[in-house]
Amino acid sequence: MRWLAIPLALAVAWLAFTMSPLWSLYDLAQAVRRHDAAYVEGHVNFRTLRLSLVRQITAAMRTASETDPDLEPRDRQRLNDAAYGLALALSETMVTPETVMDLLANGWPDKLDVERPAGAHPEGLAIRGLGRLVSYYTALEMRGFRAVVIPIPPEGSRAERTRIRLRLRGLSWRLVDIEMADVLREQIAAKLSRALARAKIGASAGEER
């Protein structure tokens, strides 16, 4: 039976490794609950997070413009050209310890004044006991040996579920990406598109004068 020792040890080691992100997730959840900005600042890669949010918002705005039948091709192109700049400006306000905690607390960035659709009930990262980690473990997706994607909440619908990516750095896992829920991404894109439309109307009125 000695020949079973090596594969058994490897299996136990792999199980322990795949469970290790959960301890970082638990610590992050407790930091969000305590509103511990110092912990969040030390365990989030804000540079990669900022780039990710810019890509998500830009893609959502372009998708919204392409499916809007009221937009002329010229206006659609202008919207696409301005999308990156608007997404970059918004990401600067979103990527702070306070806003990250705000988003993770209940799945919605209340401080950004983004309207929550009626009937939408996104949930945040709440782990009140170690037993809750079982649901997160069954839902997590390992991406190689150094990255893991975790849906929040694990039982939520795709449209209202936030997905976070943790990456192993040294002996600890750090949050490097937040994939916003579909409903939030669409609301942000709609808000920025309306802002562009108002700016266009104002500019047109100025030209007529």
Domain parsing of the chain, residue ranges = 17-111+120-208
Give the pLDDT of residue 174.
94
**5-14, 57-66, 119-128: range with lowest mean pLDDT:** 5-14
**73-94 and 182-208 helices, crossing angle to 10°:** 120
User: Shortest CA distance to 154 belongs to which of 145, 163, 146?
Assistant: 163
The residues pairing with 150 across neighbouring beta strands, listed in sequence order, are: 164
Helix/strand number for the chain, H first, E second: 7, 4
Higher pLDDT, 207 or 117: 117
Q: What is the mean pLDDT of residues 79-89?
A: 77
Mean residue pLDDT of the chain comes to 82
The residues pairing with 178 across neighbouring beta strands, listed in sequence order, are: 164
Higher pLDDT, 163 or 202: 163
pTM metric for this prediction: 0.81
